[in-house]
Amino acid sequence: MEKKLKENKITNYIVEVINNSKKNQLVNQLNLYGVTDSMWTRENRTLANQVKEAIENGVTMIQYREKNLSQDEKKEEAKELLDICHKKSIPFLIDDDVYLAKEIDADGVHLGQKDMSPVKARQILGADKIIGVTAKTVEQALKAQSEGANYLGCGAAFVTSTKKDTYVISHNVLKEICSKVSIPVVAIGGINEKNGMNLIGTGICGMAVVGAIFASENIAESVKKLKNITKQFMRKTKTVLTIAGSDSSGGAGIQADLKTMNANKVYGMSAITAITAQNTTGVSMINNVTPELLDAQLESIFTDIYPDSIKIGMISDKEQVRVISEKLKKYEAKNIVLDPVMVATSGANLSEDETINEAKKLLYPLATVITPNIPEAEILAEQEIKNSCDMEKAAEIIANKYGCSVLLKGGHCVNDANDFLCEISGTESKTSDDIVSKKSCKTQYQFKKNWINGDRINNQNTHGTGCTLSSAIASNLAKGYDLKNSIIHAKKYIEKAIGANLDLGEGSGPMAHFVTEL
C-alpha cells in the first residue's frame, strides 16, 4: 500500500511538472498572437508572405481566420500557412472550424462563445491540441476554464474596425478575469502599437492583433513596435516613473525618488517639472520646465518603457497639471501616488494656490493615494489638525472630497512616525431626503481605516521624507503589494534611511537612501 501511495505521489508530481512546462510554453507562444484577415491582401501581398514576415519579426502564434473562402479553398490556404508556421516552430490555430483543424492536423482551434463547446472540440482534437475560448465576462472565463480551455481571448480591448459594433471589455474586467483564472489570458480587439501599452499591468500574458499587423504597410516595423509592448507583459523588473522637481541637494525631489526606487529594487524613470537651486537651508531659485517639454518627457517614457506605477511630486503650474492629467488618462496609468508638495521642509513654497486647485480638480481623482503631511492636510480638509482624532477626521474629509485614498502623515509633531490611512474600499450612491434629482445624488465612499505606526527616530535630519515615502510606496505598488502593505514596507525603509543618521548640510539634512538591508 505504502509503495503504491509513493508511486502515485511521484506520478502526480511528474504530471504537474509536465503541465506547468506546457503552460509556460503556451504563455510564451501567446505573447504576440497574429490573427489573419485577408481583407488587406493584394496581388503582391499574399497572406502567406504576410504571415512569413510577421513570424520573422517576432509573432509567436498564428490564428487563421477566414470567412469568405469555400471549404476547399480554406483547406488549401490553411495547409500552406501551417507549413510556413511549422518551419519556424510557430503554433498554427484555426478560428472556429474544429473539423478543418482536425483535418489538417493544426495545433489547435480558437472558439467563440457561439461556436462548438470546448468539451466537444477536445473530444475531436484530443488532449494535446490547444483550445482557446473567447470570454467577455468573468462567468464566461470561469466556464471556459472548467470546460478545458487552454487559454482565453478577452475583448474587444479597444473599439475595433475589424469587427464593427463589437462589445468592448473594460480593462478592470480584464484584470478581474486574469486574477480569477489559472490559464493564460490574451487580449484581443482593436489593439495597435499606440494603445497596446495600456494593457500592461492587467495580467494578460500576450495580445492578439489583427489589423495592426495584416493591414500594416510595414509589417516588420509594426511587429517590432508591438513586440516592445508584449515583452513588457511578463517582465520581472518593475518600473516606476517620478513626475517631480529636481532638488540640487539630492535629498528630495526626483533625486530622492530615483535613489529610493533603486534601493527598493525597481527601475526608476523621471519627468522633471522644475529645477530648484536648493539645499538643506532653503530654496534660492526655481526654473519651471515648459508644459511642452514636460509633455515630451512623458510621451517618450509611456511609448517606450511603460511605468508600473507613478509618483507625482512638485508641480510648477496649472498647465503642467493639465499635461500630466491628460497623459495619465491617455495611457491609463496605474498605481498613482500623489504627494501634494506645497512647502519644503525648509519652509520654501513649492506650489502656487492656482496650481494646487488645478491639481485637486484634475489629478487627485486619478490618484490611487495622496500623501499629505499635516500642514497640507489642514489646507485640503480646511480644518485644523491638533491631534490624532483630527487626523482621522481630516483624512476622511479629504478622501470623500477628492475620491481617492489618503495617507495622512504624522510627521510635523502631531504623531511624528504614525500615519493614518483612509482607504477607499467601495462606493455607494446616496440621495438626499428631498426629491431625487441628478444633483442630489452624491457618491459616498466606504473606507478601510488604519493607523500605520512607525518607530520615531530621534533625528532632525528629515529633508525629503515625504518624497522618499511616496516613492517607496509607488515602488511597492509596482511590485504588487496592496496599498496598506506598500505603506508598511515603505515606512520600514524610511526609518532605516533616517536611522542611518547621515548628517549633511547646515539645515535639516537628507536621509541615507542607499540603505540596502530592507
Ligand X SMILES: Nc1ncnc2c1ncn2[C@@H]1O[C@H](COP(=O)(O)OP(=O)(O)OP(=O)(O)O)[C@@H](O)[C@H]1O
Catalytic residue positions, numbered: 409, 462, 464-467
Would you say 307 or 466 has its CB closer to Mg ion? 466
C-alpha triplet 468, 470, 474: angle, nearest 5°: 115
The partner in contact with residue 314, picked from ligand HMH, Mg ion, ligand X, none with C-beta cut-offs of 5 to 8 angstroms by kind, is ligand HMH
The partner in contact with residue 478, picked from ligand X, Mg ion, ligand HMH, none with C-beta cut-offs of 5 to 8 angstroms by kind, is none
Dist. CA 227–CA 65, nearest whole Å: 22
Q: Which of residues 451-470 bind ligand HMH (CB under 6 A)?
A: 464, 466-467
Q: Which of residues 145-174 bind ligand X (CB under 6 A)?
A: none
Does 276 participate in binding ligand HMH (rule CB under 6 A)?
yes
Q: Which of residues 361-380 bind ligand X (CB under 6 A)?
A: 373
Does 486 participate in binding ligand X (rule CB under 6 A)?
no
64 in a known ligand binding site: yes
Task: Please report how many Cα atoms fall inside a 13 Å half-sphere around the Cα of residue 326, on the Cβ side.
Answer: 13
Dist. CA 152–CA 144, nearest whole Å: 8
Work out how close the CB of 389 gets to ligand X at its nearest, in angstroms, rounded to a whole number: 17
Would you say 108 or 411 has its CB closer to ligand HMH? 411
115 in a known ligand binding site: yes
Going from the C-alpha of 328 to that of each of 8, 254, 373, 446, the distances in angstroms are 53, 18, 24, 25
Work out how close the CB of 474 gets to ligand HMH at its nearest, in angstroms, rounded to a whole number: 14
Q: Are strands 336-338 and 369-370 parallel, antiparallel or unpaired?
A: parallel
65 in a known ligand binding site: yes
Dist. CA 67–CA 70, nearest whole Å: 9
Among 108, 184, 466, 509, binds Mg ion (CB under 5 A): 466
The rounded Cα 310 to chain-centroid distance in angstroms is 10
Among 27, 156, 312, 344, binds ligand HMH (CB under 6 A): 344
Please, is 36 exposed, middle or buried when counting C-beta atoms within 10 Å of its C-beta (0-12, 13-18, 19+)?
buried
How long, in residues, is the chain?
518
Residue 498, SS3 per DSSP: helix
Does 341 participate in binding ligand HMH (rule CB under 6 A)?
yes
* Interface stretch with ligand X, choices 1-9, 107-115, 263-271, 491-499 (CB under 6 A): 491-499
* Interface stretch with ligand HMH, choices 61-69, 234-242, 293-301, 338-346 (CB under 6 A): 338-346
3-state secondary structure 181-236: CCCCEEEECCCCCCCHHHHCCCCCCEEEECHHHHCCCCHHHHHHHHHHHHCCCCCC
Work out how close the CB of 140 gets to Mg ion at its nearest, in angstroms, rounded to a whole number: 46
Dist. CA 23–CA 17, nearest whole Å: 10
**Cell reading at 37:** 484577415
Cis status, amide bond into 156, omega within 30 of 0? yes
63 in a known ligand binding site: yes
Work out how close the CB of 312 gets to ligand HMH at its nearest, in angstroms, rounded to a whole number: 11
**Cell reading at 149:** 480551455
**Interacting residues with ligand HMH (CB under 6 A):** 244-247, 252-253, 276, 278, 313-314, 341, 344-345, 350, 464, 466-467
**Interacting residues with ligand X (CB under 6 A):** 252, 345, 373, 409-412, 416-417, 419, 454, 456-457, 459, 462, 464-467, 469, 491, 494-495, 498
